């Protein structure tokens, strides 16, 4: 649920990185954090276990500057992907303006990807949101791994992308596709926001 403050001309949008455990959600945020200049970002907050699994969420505030006369800010969150953190995932997803689904391209992770996508749908539905309505992009991460370990984008598309959501191949560890993905979701979110403003 974006916050639009007409008095201060500020817009704040919430983007949630969703996906199965170890698909690379936190790695996306780390890469973004490392690239964005100091004056455009706030402190990144990560609540993780000792083995680096996200325990609650990661949070990264970004300042996109002026868009249509509004100071525009994005708050990036990641959910914990491990199956038993369901309650936390629901909490973090609440009020999302857009979702980046980070899939793991490894062939052996296919079932986990499918289950996580179903979990996303169920959790959105529980919040009264149709997955076809909310801005959603899909990232096929870990495309840098050897080709005998991963599925190609067409196979992943068949398995996961039923609604023709924009998709991006990525290697978040080295940053390939990370900003393309962020730009993709930003465009969808801002387009929806401006359509909503037009309707008022
Ligand atoms: N080869 C490769 N490894 C990656 C890539 N992205 C992430 N990893 C590795 O995968 C592991 C898990 O990455 P995380 O970003 O912690 O995964 P996550 O999705 O946040 O996991 P949870 O917090 O448990 O849900 C780490 O060891 C990363 O270095 C990638 O694009 N390529
Ligand atoms: Mg994580």
The predicted pLDDT at position 198 comes to: 55
Instruction: Confirm if 166 and 101 have CB atoms less than 8 A apart.
Output: no
Type and span of the H or E element at 31: helix 25-35
For the entire predicted model, the pTM comes to 0.95
The predicted pLDDT at position 75 comes to: 96
- Pocket of ligand 1, candidates 19, 21, 24, 53: which has the most ligand atoms within 8 Å of its Cβ, to mutate? 24
The predicted pLDDT at position 51 comes to: 74
CA dihedral for 154, 110, 30, 4, sign (positive or negative): positive
Ligand found nearest the CA of 82:
1
The predicted pLDDT at position 1 comes to: 67
Does ligand 1 lie within 6 Å of residue 178's CB atom?
no
CATH number at residue 9: 3.40.50.300
Type and span of the H or E element at 184: helix 178-199
Ligand found nearest the CA of 53:
1
Instruction: State the closest ligand 1 atom to the C-alpha of 27, by its place in the atom list counted from 1.
Output: 15
The predicted pLDDT at position 191 comes to: 92
Q: How far is CA 18 from CA 8, 66, 77, 100, 167, in A?
A: 31, 27, 9, 6, 14
The rounded Cα 144 to chain-centroid distance in angstroms is 20
Taking the centre of ligand 1 as the mean of its atom positions, its distance from the CA of residue 26, in whole angstroms, is 7
- For 43, the domain range is 3-199
- Segments in the chain below pLDDT 70: 1, 197-200
Distance CA 200, CA 195 (A): 9
Taking the centre of ligand 1 as the mean of its atom positions, its distance from the CA of residue 52, in whole angstroms, is 9
> How many structural domains comprise the chain?
1
Taking the centre of ligand 2 as the mean of its atom positions, its distance from the CA of residue 11, in whole angstroms, is 26
Ligand found nearest the CA of 51:
1
Does ligand 1 lie within 6 Å of residue 142's CB atom?
yes
Taking the centre of ligand 1 as the mean of its atom positions, its distance from the CA of residue 101, in whole angstroms, is 13
101 DSSP β-pair partners? 18, 138
């Amino acid at each position: 649920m974006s916050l639009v403050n007409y008095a201060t001309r500020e817009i704040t949008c919430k983007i949630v990185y969703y996906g199965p455990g170890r698909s690379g959600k936190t790695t996306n945020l780390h890469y973004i954090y490392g690239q964005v200049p100091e004056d455009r970002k706030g402190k990144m907050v990560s609540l993780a276990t000792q083995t680096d699994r996200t325990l609650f969420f990661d949070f990264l505030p970004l300042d996109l500057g002026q868009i249509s006369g509004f100071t525009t800010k994005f708050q990036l969150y990641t959910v914990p992907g491990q199956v038993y953190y369901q309650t936390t995932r629901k909490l973090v997803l609440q009020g999302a303006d857009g979702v980046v689904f980070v899939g793991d391209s490894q062939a052996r992770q296919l079932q986990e990807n499918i289950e996580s996508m179903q979990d996303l749908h169920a959790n959105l539905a529980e919040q009264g949101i149709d997955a076809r309505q909310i801005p959603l992009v899909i990232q096929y991460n870990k495309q840098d791994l050897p080709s005998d370990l991963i599925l190609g984008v067409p196979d992943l598309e068949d398995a996961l992308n039923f609604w023709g959501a924009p998709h991006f191949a990525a290697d978040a560890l080295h940053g390939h596709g990370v900003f393309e993905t962020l730009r993709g979701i930003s465009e969808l979110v801002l387009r929806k926001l401006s359509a909503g403003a037009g309707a008022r």
